[in-house]
Amino acid sequence: MAISNSQLGAQELLSALISENGTLTLTCLDEIDGREPTRAEAEILNQALSSVKNTVLAFQIKKSLRLAIFKLKKTHFKVSLEGLEKLLEDHNRLDDLALGIATVEPAEAFLAADYFRNANWQDFPPQILVSFCNFFRKHGNISDSPVLQDLTRHQDANVITAALTALERLDPGNLQGIIIPLLDSPQNEVKAQAIQAFYRWNRAEALKHLLKLLYSTNEQEVILALHHAAYFPYPEIEPYLIRLLTQTTSPSILMRITQIFKTNANPELPFRIFWVNRSLSGQHQSLVKGIILGVVRALADSNQISVSVQDYLNDLKNRVKQEELRLLKVTCKVSNEEAEEAILPEIEERASEPEPEPAAANDTASAASLPSPAAPAAPKPPPPPPMKSPEVDFERYDSLAEQEKVQLLARANANFFKENRPRLNSLFNDAQGRELAALINLFGKFGTYDDAAKIKGFVKSDNPDIVCACIKALSTLDTEYLCLYLPQFMQEKNGKVRMTATRIFVSIDRDRIRGLLTGLLASSNVKQRLLGVSMSMLVDFNIVRQPLIEALARETSVEILEKIGLVLSANPDRELLNVVYSIAQNCRSSLIMDHKSVVEKLADNLAIALNHISPAEELLKEAADAYEIDQKALKAAKKEEEKQTSLKKSIEFNPISGDNQGEVSIQEIMTANSSDPKAKRAKVTIIVWVLVAVVWGGSMAVLVLNYLFGAE
């Protein structure tokens, strides 16, 4: 993944250079060394040099800074082969040697490699070993493999990763035995590099290790995982990147995800991002909209779409809406009219807005919608004109038809609301139906906490449009009051109210709705479980992923099983397929065919999501293999547990049977616990005999003393 100044901006470049991840730093330096640097990059290198404490990384940054300065001065830095030979003999000139290694001409690389080998380059100080590894990665051969393999056991993580990178190119066939122990390395850079290399032998296991880093709570670990994820086949990682997209609002993480998306933009990607964005809210949803827009523009720049960006977005919105309506009708049992009210996030083409600067790392929305680096810079358009108040004369409001009133209130802006607030307040006395709902929505957009009081009186209305408007308005005006009623609204018979309440609840309190859905899915009441499944379609899948998996494992209703399968198969990934396959292998015999249907549907959808790089049959076989491995591990663990239990029993003292397999001290006998009366009597007997022996011994000692010295 390219991490250049033009793509991520000066701040992002500096952040990568001084990050805790040496891999990111070395990747940036390698890219800068390979091109003509800018003065800004040289300044950033100088700034990073004063901040980095790791001696290996500081040495490499200094090398790149010196090389950049030579290039900026148009000075051709060249070290002859004779000069390299002398530098190899003088360890006090490692800085010059590193520059010499970085600038070896390809025509002379063969001879330079022999010089390095004869000088036992692997014995040089750690800071320059990275330079040697990079050289042999480009100009070495398989004969260098043994030395590089030895360096994978070096104490410095940067040296290990550089050696692994070279071995991936020179001798990948003999790398597996080296990699496997490194998958559990305590050094994240080493672990991540090993995961990347391990993919060629075991895709499922490599992805499993990558996901541990990708979903870490440590931002630096996530960024490192994203760096290596860019080297995996894109269809394999896309589902996990989309899932991560819904879990974070970090500017650095979102920017890197966006770069991977734009580099691998395909016509289906905007639909998949839009699908998960339905369940997000507020600023997070706005950020993801920006990412969708950036991906669509990348598609347009690469001529993968034949329509305008705005037309594509309109078609995308309609496609997502139709798919959601289809699933809502199946899972929620709502009418066509109710389903048509499904809430979808709006995406507006913002071509008229000036592009934000890439360096604004604190503005994730701008970072997410950066133009493709290959796209020509467009002239800055004039700013959009300010929104005008509705042209309809508000004094004639009473003479308008209901539809006209609704339209006027729907397009009213903040200025209109401010200018006509007294009159709008008075409308609460007479407005009804859709007009009242539009009025409540208007106060929800531009009102204040004090306006919540007048809206609360309509919460228990029999009109679903009014109730939905109250829910949306109170979600911004008085959240605490609304939360008292949301669980009740989520169980309403009216599908529109149910859907609105569910989505609003997600935006307010994800933890509470997770608990509510978990309780519904675990209910003994079939209707409650059905309600839980239907509500799962309306929230971020990450919230209900685990509760749905647990519900699938214990569900006995065929109808609910089918609906759970629909929700799961709409969000496929390898990890989920393995879990669902395992559940199917342990289900009731009467439900085998139903679980099999869920597994096959999930595998088919995953194959489509992976762009068929792994067909459904191969995915099912991998799931079966993973299940067998897990079962063997469980059996081995159970066998070991039984062995430990048996061993523990064998060394316990049993005074009745005499099955004592070792010497037992008197202290153990005296302190041992036993509920057997006979055992207790045996212990008392032994203690008595011990006391008798002590008394007898003392008496004999007194007699001997009297005999020898006489009584006084």
Q: What pLDDT, in 10s, does the model give residues 659-711? A: 444 444 444 444 545 555 555 666 667 776 777 676 677 777 667 666 666 65
Does residue 114 form part of some domain?
A: no
DSSP 305: -
Q: Is residue 219 a part of any domain in this protein?
A: no
pLDDT over 70 at 591, yes or no: yes
- The rounded radius of gyration (Å) of the Cα atoms in the chain is 35
Q: Residue 123 has what pLDDT?
A: 93
259 close to 369: Cβ distance less than 8 angstroms: no
Using the structure block, give the residue that is written with the tokens 């730093």.
25
pLDDT at 335: 55
Please state the rounded mean pLDDT for residues 323-334: 67
Q: How many CB atoms lie within 10 A of CB 213?
A: 21
Answer whether residue 389 is part of any domain. no
Same domain as 341, residue 240: yes
Residues 401 and 469 in one domain: yes
Instruction: Indicate the average pLDDT of the chain.
Output: 80
Other Cβ atoms closer than 10 A to 276: 17
Per residue in 5-49, pLDDT (tens digit) is 344 467 777 777 887 778 888 888 888 888 888 888 888 888 888
353 and 256 both lie in a single domain:
yes
Same domain for 318 and 404, yes or no, is no
List C-alpha distances in Å: 504 to 280, 500, 596.
10, 6, 35
At residue 295, the pLDDT reads 93
Place of tokens 């729907």: 410
Q: What is the DSSP letter of 230?
A: T
Mean pLDDT comparison of 128-132, 360-364, 574-578, highest-scoring range = 128-132
SS3 34: coil
Is 499 inside a domain boundary?
yes
Number of structural domains (the chain) is 4
Q: Dump pLDDT digits (tens) for 271-295.
A: 989 888 877 777 888 889 999 999 9
Percent of the chain residues past pLDDT 70, beyond the cut:
82
The answer to whether residues 693 and 589 belong to one domain is no
Cα atoms in the Cβ-side hemisphere of radius 13 Å centred on 500: 24
Residue 621 lies in a domain: yes
323 and 417 belong to one structural domain: no
Looking at the structure, do residues 628 and 671 belong to the same domain, yes or no?
no
Kindly compute the dihedral angle of the four CA atoms of residues 542, 548, 549, 553, in this order, to the nearest 10 degrees: 170
* pLDDT of 159 higher than 90: yes
Q: Residue 305's domain spans which residues? A: 233-375
Residue 370 and residue 259 in one domain? yes
**299 and 255 within one domain:** yes
Q: How far is CA 602 from the centre of its chain?
A: 21
Domain boundary among 472, 492, 508: 508
Same domain for 671 and 627, yes or no, is no
**Domain's final residue, options 311, 340, 375:** 375
Query: Does this model's pTM top 0.75?
Result: no
The answer to whether residue 594 scores a pLDDT higher than 80 is yes
Residue 21 and residue 25: Cα distance in Å, rounded? 7
Is 208 within the bounds of a domain?
A: no
Question: What is the phi-psi region of residue 664: left when phi exceeds 0, alpha when psi lies from -120 to 50, beta otherwise?
Answer: beta
**What token pair was written down for 579?**
């879990």
128 within domain boundaries: no
Q: Is the domain of 239 the same as that of 344?
A: yes
Cα–Cα distances (Å) from 701 to 492, 610, 695, 711, 712, in that order, read 94, 91, 10, 14, 16
User: What sign does the dihedral 600-602-604-606 (CA atoms) show?
Assistant: negative
**Can you give the pLDDT at residue 328?**
67
User: Do 636 and 502 lie in a common domain?
Assistant: no
Which pLDDT does position 707 carry in this prediction? 65
Indicate whether 408 pLDDT > 60: yes
Among 326, 345, 375, identify where a domain stops. 375
Q: Is residue 583 part of a domain?
A: yes
